[in-house]
Structure 1
């Protein structure tokens, strides 16, 4: 624990506090939250939802750790259900948090600090009270031993002080990081007394002590994990928790590939499935259970920015450091053909890193964006000022000669040439690109791309590996190209450092898959984080978007604006879905309905077998 402040400094803090007052919620620009201090529950729950039953879902490959906070190992899905955070984010507001472990939150008028007042009744599953020293321990442990993302995320925190057992003060290095108090609200509170005899930096399958609505009840290494609802959960009566956490058990079974998992869903081996394949959504559910309404297909609106998913270039590799090469290769993805032939026309091509939001850059930059971009004119692509970015578009016939000619011209300008029907780079080395893959579904998507590259003498090697090897190679940056995603919220902020900044490029486990080290992008990221109004945030996001677009760092993929879910009819969910989430934590098991296959059925297959 850090020492308490001196009496003199304490007096100065008291003067500052006089201008602030503890609140039940935090918002980004101090706007009023949607729900008042005396709210009973949020709008997207059924506060009278029945408790009981089991929610069974699936995941891919396996797991070997129950510690989700470090870069070692593959953590079990949903393990964060066992932990409480200082505050809980609302799922129908862009970025508002309501007190959870902290009943009240106090923010300095000048944003130089935030103070959390802990609820006296908050406790861990062993009955030990949650106190300020646990918060300090959690923060310091994540900074020192956690994943690199925490050091980036909390970079502007100067000091954390346990002022007394129920008060924690975070002091900031600077005052213009408006998102930082909300980020600290997301801090999981870990039990200091439990970790005192354990090594936090090592992942294993020892069941950890938590404080949240669920605890780990059973672990079958690599195969399944079962969570049990904590009946005497300390926070069960809080308004922010009303209507949540209705299942007595949540079970995740692991499968080796999604094809086998989908068949298991249709056989009733588990209850819920989030479909990511347009082909499957159109063709794989023609079974009696769907026709009879027992297995329900539903599209739930997704109000989140879809962000960017794409084929990511690792620009740490010499062959991808020339923007002309990246643009040339981007021209060879024929989305229109793939959408028609492979996706049943279900998708829209992504073009923005903030797709499906008011932060997506369209047309030419307006006055606010130009004011941000003009000081960087000599450091960013000139097209930012003169062109509206659009990915290459084809006629969908599968013949892309126009795009191939343009690509070949760009490669020649970059010093590449064809020798004996093979493309060689500027050093004369034959070009082979390894595409690292863990998802079998993407192989059929990559094969047409591979053929288009082969027409120009470029060899694309599709390297499929298991999930553990995939994660290790991503962390060590041992790849040429991968399918990557950069998810966005309605209020982007500090996480942008993890995606784009130079400081994250060489950190194992960071989300800077591209390897970006660009001072202009660094500046744009910091200015976005420091935006002092929604209008300014939108302008800065658009400016950053334009520079990323014309860097051709990824080949944009595609998106939809709904969640496609299939679930058995013994599950129920609220009439109103949260705007920014599927919201399965608000679902319930109907008391008078039975699962398609009883939980103790001998018909259940070993999910880990994967149909080998």
Structure 2
């Protein structure tokens, strides 16, 4: 039932490997200057922070949380759910199914530190500068940066990549919509101009997009065919990062190999990382087969999505003998909402009372007990896991002032009643909730005839849940009988990952599981999540199709917040409006990542606060441990 990395803004594993979208805030940005400039020009900075001072000064050697003496070598085999048909990340979200691993072959202008919130240091770029009004930012590239073919990374590559992403990627076009121009302004300098002043996070989030080789994409493949940045491809792409794709089997596996002469191996943001010689991503159609492959020592690392399987499926000798380690890694870097999302483009879901009835029909407590052994808590916020932003009680203070300006556009209940999900868990509670669901449906104009729920025209109510795997399906099959007791016809359709992504892009579903990963610094990504302008844009993350002027106004407040207090109040207000609008039936949250591994790897102690497991980027092959596990050396 858990959402995949493609549905979240960032996944736990990927966040530890690469800079993540959305991990920024509408707060004062850059920090100490790397060198002084004239009074009329902004200072060059070695780091960008949205919380004030940075931890690491100019000229620092490495992050504190890495092991600079970590040995290089070893192979890790990792589980991936689904399949793939594309290596072109520019069109991820629009066409094809992107293979995991591609992200580790390319780089961004900056890289995140994992032991301080929302702070970035130079990767491809060595410095950046912007004025006090946040009207533009200039990034200066490192002179030594080069592609795997030896050619230098140039401002032309940056401009080409930015333009290609804005034109072809639904995610990046929304995220960077306020950046109106990208241009070369010096031998190694690139300037990004903004459409207005005061958008405090724009200078920082510019550093997050992947930089691609212009000369490669504008060239021809081995057959002499012109490459197309707007098309899917399984040609191994050229990168500049610490890994490159060595080989693959279409739809089944991708093998990355460490680049021995990687240009950036001695950068402060690279030392002690990228230690494994090979990273193999093995793709499986469902978790069950992947889990059995792990138990048979065909995989080294398995991220467990099912609470019940975590409790019951690991009773085998290697666990007892401590050759396999089970561990939960806390997630302090993000929050999320996951739920059954309604497609508001369908007339059935236009009435909030209908959507609320679906929530009353969902006995989450019993679902958690039966399917997950009580491993979870229920989502009660779009920022679940980040208490600072979670709407609680009734609005007060700055949040109330903000909501008062929107009183005629938001549900009246939110001013007087704390939002709470219905509570089940017993036969009596379930019956009471179903009665309330029936009352809401009747109030919305539906009635039961011959045990079938029908609308005002007498047409029966039928809904289809779109699922991408057996885990999703299992959760829906639990939910289904409750809805059928209300008289609905409920269909469950499970499709492969490519078809699933295609249907999401075209909004071809009634209800599906959706999720939104939130950072500790929300900002421009909220437009793509919930903004009206993204509701009808194919490939956007606004799967429900939310078009709500109050939501739009609150997103604008988040983006242009003048200080942390205003940001917090605006996020709470947005959370409250989204909850009371009932765009999803909330599911569950955990606040940690479950992972089982064959004990062949070691990691620095302690792991960084904002890195979750940090696997595989911070870990290394431990030959002594590996010798004790058997299987392979």
TM-score grouping bracket, smaller chain normalisation: over 0.9
Task: Find the counterpart in structure 1 of residue 214 from structure 2.
Answer: 192
Task: Find the counterpart in structure 1 of residue 199 from structure 2.
Answer: 177
Q: Distance in 2 between matches of 1:16 and 1:500?
A: 42
Task: Find the counterpart in structure 1 of residue 250 from structure 2.
Answer: 221
Q: What's the offset of the Cα at 1:316?
A: 0.6
Is structure 2 residue 229 aligned with structure 1 residue 208? no
For structure 2, list consecutive stretches of 5 or more residues without a partner in the other structure.
Answer: 1-35, 220-226
Deviations 1:117-173 (A, max 9, x none): 1110000000000111111111111112x2111111111112222012211111111
The match for 1:41 among 62, 67, 90 is 62
Is structure 2 residue 368 aligned with structure 1 residue 346? no
Question: Given the superposition, is the C-alpha separation of residues 22 and 485 from structure 1 closer, same or farther in structure 2, using an over 3 Å criterion?
Answer: same
Is structure 2 residue 112 aligned with structure 1 residue 89? yes
Is structure 2 residue 550 aligned with structure 1 residue 528? no
Report 1:379-458 matches (<5 A): 379-397=409-427, 400-458=430-488
Question: Given the superposition, is the C-alpha separation of residues 24 and 363 from structure 1 closer, same or farther in structure 2, using an over 3 Å criterion?
Answer: same
Contact 1:156 1:172 in 2 (8 A): yes
Q: Distance in 2 between matches of 1:175 and 1:16?
A: 22
Q: What's the offset of the Cα at 1:39?
A: 2.3
Q: Distance in 2 between matches of 1:522 and 1:89?
A: 29
Contact 2:361 2:483 in 1 (8 A): yes
Q: Distance in 2 between matches of 1:317 and 1:90?
A: 43
Deviations 1:447-466 (A, max 9, x none): 23111111110122111111
Task: Find the counterpart in structure 2 of residue 254 from structure 1.
Answer: 283
State the SS of the aligned residue for 2:164: helix
Q: Distance in 2 between matches of 1:444 and 1:201?
A: 36
The match for 1:128 among 131, 151, 163 is 151
Is structure 2 residue 622 aligned with structure 1 residue 590? yes
Task: Find the counterpart in structure 2 of residue 606 from structure 1.
Answer: none
Deviations 1:6-58 (A, max 9, x none): xxxxxxxx9986352111111125x1112222322223222211110111101
Question: Given the superposition, is the C-alpha separation of residues 259 and 221 from structure 1 closer, same or farther in structure 2, using an over 3 Å criterion?
Answer: same
State the SS of the aligned residue for 1:491: coil
Contact 2:626 2:632 in 1 (8 A): no
Task: Find the counterpart in structure 1 of residue 165 from structure 2.
Answer: 142
Deviations 1:472-528 (A, max 9, x none): 111110000001101100001111000101110111110000101111111111111
State the SS of the aligned residue for 1:325: helix
Task: Find the counterpart in structure 2 of residue 75 from structure 1.
Answer: 98
Q: Which moved more, 1:15-24 or 1:218-227?
A: 15-24
Q: Distance in 2 between matches of 1:164 and 1:54?
A: 42
Q: Distance in 2 between matches of 1:523 and 1:416?
A: 33
Task: Find the counterpart in structure 2 of residue 22 from structure 1.
Answer: 44
Task: Find the counterpart in structure 2 of residue 108 from structure 1.
Answer: 131
Contact 2:381 2:575 in 1 (8 A): yes
Q: Distance in 1 between matches of 2:469 and 2:544?
A: 20
Is structure 2 residue 148 aligned with structure 1 residue 117? no
Q: What's the offset of the Cα at 1:92?
A: 2.5
Q: What's the offset of the Cα at 1:427?
A: 3.0
Contact 2:101 2:254 in 1 (8 A): no
Is structure 2 residue 399 aligned with structure 1 residue 373? no
Task: Find the counterpart in structure 2 of residue 363 from structure 1.
Answer: 393
Q: Distance in 2 between matches of 1:366 and 1:16?
A: 45
Give the superposed CA RMSD. 1.6
Q: Distance in 2 between matches of 1:103 and 1:351?
A: 42
Q: What's the offset of the Cα at 1:599?
A: 6.7
State the SS of the aligned residue for 1:471: helix
Aligned length: 585
The match for 1:52 among 56, 59, 73 is 73
Normalising to structure 1: TM-score of the pair? 0.93
Deviations 1:370-402 (A, max 9, x none): 111111100111112111101001243475111
Is structure 2 residue 467 aligned with structure 1 residue 467? no
Contact 2:423 2:429 in 1 (8 A): no
Q: What's the offset of the Cα at 1:218?
A: 0.2
Contact 1:268 1:597 in 2 (8 A): no
The match for 1:240 among 255, 269, 272 is 269
Q: What's the offset of the Cα at 1:349?
A: 0.9
Contact 1:311 1:555 in 2 (8 A): yes
Normalising to structure 2: TM-score of the pair? 0.90
Contact 1:107 1:114 in 2 (8 A): yes
Q: What's the offset of the Cα at 1:104?
A: 0.9
State the SS of the aligned residue for 2:185: strand
Deviations 1:404-455 (A, max 9, x none): 1111111011100111110012332101110000120132322231111111
For structure 1, list consecutive stretches of 5 or more residues without a partner in the other structure.
Answer: 1-13, 601-612
Task: Find the counterpart in structure 1 of residue 10 from structure 2.
Answer: none
Q: Distance in 1 between matches of 2:41 and 2:260?
A: 41
Q: Distance in 1 between matches of 2:424 and 2:39?
A: 61
